[in-house]
Structure 1
Amino acid sequence: MIKKTLLSVAAVTTVAGFAFGASAADMVDGPKVKWNLSVWGKQRAFTKGIETLRDMADERTGGKFKIKIHYGEALSKSRENLDGIKLGAFQMAMFCSPYHPDKNPTLTGLDLPFLPFPNLRVQAAVHDAYYQHPEVAKDLARWDAYLLMSSLLPQYEFTGVGKPPRTLEDWKGKRVRALGGIGKAMTKLGAVPTTVTASETYTSLERGTVEAASFPFTYAHVAYKLTDVGKWYTANLSPGAVNCPVVVNIPAWKALPEQYQKLLLDAKAPAYDALISAYEAADAKNLPMMKEKGLEAITYSDEELAAFRKAGAKPVWDDWLASMKEKGLPGQELLDLIMTTAANASK
């Protein structure tokens, strides 16, 4: 249930003038606009992108374009953010496509395991190109959602309790928090995936409802305190990453002055820079801390990883393509877009 209903399009009042904080050449003049953005959890590396968008909108308009970020599911449950966008309960939100794949089937292509993303900048190029594909834009338009940018989640790893999976065989029968394509890849190892939301994961791991949980490594493992209860973590499984976009309510976007639209689009590059820097800083801090806590690092051999990729990559992709075909969606075209964009961005 959406907890609070706000105007889908903020009231606009024209006010002249500039403020300090940016050079005169960088300033963008326009009316007063206030937006609300719904996200779960607290301020962390994952939120650096939206915080950069907020700060640039505020600074470059002299405080006229305000984006208020509501953390901790204050406006909506994480699984309901897309519904909130559709209702116009808030103007911006973040969500993860595996939370409700039937609501956004085209987006699930970015959740496939073992996609060829050697780094986050290649991932950003692919996600941006993918979001602009007409079928993807049409799919999200059913929810009045305009795809603005990605949250660029790093490769996932697992933190767990109980017997450490020191070989891939040890995953058989383990109950794991693994979303989207990562969950399907883990099924190939004999694990039993579940789609527990991020905010519910700590309790599930603590109570033993799940024995291992996958999150972007390392920042989310610490942000959600999995390292406080976990006894081990995988160091090189790297099965993929989940797609969690930032979306804007389409009526609100259309009502936004053109210069403010351009400002948000221009802010994407520095927002991506901020995300990447935040993830790198988190790794530098968290890895030594995890070692101090005594968590065992599980590392797999090249042979085991090759076998995992053979079982968990193309077979899962093929299943996804068949599913897209059944839905009348251009799965092969979307997968080709991923591969071509990744190859070009990696040059």
Structure 2
Amino acid sequence: MNLRNLLVKPVLLAATFLAGAAGAAEVDGPKVFWKISMWGNPRALSAGMEEMAAKVSEATDGNFQIKIFYGGQLSGARENLDGLKLNAFEGAAICNFYHPGKNPAWMVFSLPFLPLGDPAVDRYVRSKMFEHPAIVADMERWNAMPYVSGLLPQYEILGKGTPPANLEDWSGMRVRAGGGLGSAMEKLGAVKQTLPAGETSTAFQRGAVDAAAFPFTYAHVSFKISDEAEWFTSNLAPGTSECGWVFNKTAYESLPAQYQDLLMGQRDMIMQVTQEAYAAQDEKNLPMFEETLTKVTYSDEQLATFREVAGQPVWDEWIAANSDKFDAQGVFDAVWSYAKEAEAGN
């Protein structure tokens, strides 16, 4: 063997070793396939979870596969918790106000005028609340566990007919709004409707609703509400809700520890991607709204009146109605406490 072969062979062997190492899984483990149930189409709410599924597959060299099934293929929006209890799938998105009796503590996220308007504060508060004993207990009844918040932005309302320039104009209006947000609208005399998101556009077409509250702006476009609407509120910001992601507890506990760690290590990334997706949608959608719809903007005095009428009274009613089910006052106070922590820089 000549000198050239002696030099080339080790180089080729080293290159082969490095190529194999580059393709090796970062996280070793068995082959696992998870199904996640979701209604509607892929959208900003699911962007972070889609990115998580891609990263998990990449990190495990394809051994751990996660697929989100859209359009209610696995379960209806109101039945996702039931499906988790039956071990029909390994994870799901849930919206708390679709089934308030199934997740009573989670309804705190839908109370009006919570201190969640700042995206950074919102992210911190919800992350902490997903570890709160009452929030965890709600899911345990359904063999589920909280994973990551959907971080829904503040709601605004799109509607048909005469724009509600004054608070009195909401009287008698049929508004799709769930949870405490719906209760807040009732304080203005509106008639609360709690339709699933995917049915709301059809309800507009049939004349069954006059207005709909959704996370602004992405959900109004995702569910084609903006196609039906004639006006939008720009600064009502009455609150939000929680459409978050939960796992089947049995499935999660059956995973090897390294897969569990991998999933939990993705949560910050998921929230970052989700919030960026919301912001990108606002940048695209808001100019379209302003061009095609009548913009309703309320004065500081009108907003103060709305908060006075529909803030504290709705909070007090919710706490009183749930005090025998769990520590409702403690859950409510925790939201404000975590918000103060976030504002103070933790």
TM-score with structure 1 setting the length: 0.91
Cα separation, 2, equivalents of 1:25 and 1:240 = 46
Aligned twin of 1:7: none
- SS across alignment from 1:67: strand
- Secondary structure in 2 aligned to 1:113? coil
Give the % identical residues. Answer: 48
Q: Is the CA contact (8 Å cut-off) linking 1:38 and 1:75 kept in structure 2?
A: yes
Distance 1:79 1:217 in 2: 22
Q: 2:16: which partner in 1?
A: none
Question: 4+ residue runs of structure 1 moved beyond 4 angstroms?
Answer: 22-26
Q: Structure 1: how far apart are the matches of 2:150 and 2:42?
A: 13
Aligned-residue offset at 1:138: 1.9
State the shift of 1:208 in Å. 1.4
Instruction: Give the number of the structure whose alpha-carbon radius of gyration is greater.
Output: 2
Equivalent of 2:293 in 292, 295, 302:
295
> Hey, what does 1:4 align to over in structure 2?
none
**In structure 1, C-alpha distance between the alignment counterparts of 2:136 and 2:95, rounded to whole Å:** 16
**How far apart, in 2, do the equivalents of 1:236 and 1:127 lie?**
23
In structure 2, the gaps of 5 or more residues are 1-18
Could you tell me which residue of structure 1 aligns to residue 42 of structure 2?
43
DSSP 3-state at the match of 1:117: coil
Cα deviation 1:29-61 (Å, max 9, x = unaligned): 111110000001111111112112211111111
Kindly indicate whether residue 337 of structure 2 is the aligned counterpart of residue 337 of structure 1.
no
2:87 equivalent in structure 1: 88
Runs of at least 5 residues in structure 1 that lack an aligned partner in the other structure: 1-19
Q: Residue 52 of structure 1 contacts residue 267 of structure 1 at CA under 8 Å; is this kept in 2?
A: no
1:259 aligns with 2:258: yes
Kindly indicate which of the two structures has a greater share of residues assigned to helix.
Answer: 2
Q: Work out the CA distance in 2 between the residues paired with 1:135 and 1:220.
A: 28
Equivalent residue pairs, number: 326
Q: Which amino acid aligns with 2:308?
A: K
Return the letter of the residue paired with 1:129.
Answer: K
Could you say what secondary structure the match of 1:95 adopts? Answer: strand
Equivalent position to 1:323, from 321, 324, 341: 321
The alignment status of 1:307 with 2:310, answered yes or no, reads no
Q: Report if the CA contact (8 A) 1:156-1:215 is conserved.
A: yes
What CA deviation, in whole Å up to 9, does each residue of 1:172-196 have, x standing for no partner?
Answer: 0100000111000001111011101
Q: Secondary structure at the match of 1:259?
A: helix
Contact kept? 2:23, 2:61, Cα under 8 Å: no
Write the letter of the residue equivalent to 2:314: V
Q: SS state of the match for residue 323, structure 2?
A: helix
State the shift of 1:23 in Å. Answer: 7.0
Task: Please state how far the C-alpha of 1:71 moved relative to its aligned partner.
Answer: 0.7
Question: What's the TM-score once normalised by structure 2's chain length?
Answer: 0.91
Does the CA-based 8 Å contact 1:57-1:65 persist in structure 2?
Answer: yes
AA of the residue aligned to 2:215: P
Q: Which moved more, 1:59-68 or 1:121-130?
A: 121-130
Structure 1 equivalent of residue 185 of structure 2: 186
Secondary structure at the aligned position of 1:76 is classed as coil
Indicate if the aligned counterparts of 1:172 and 1:189 stay in contact, CA closer than 8 A.
yes
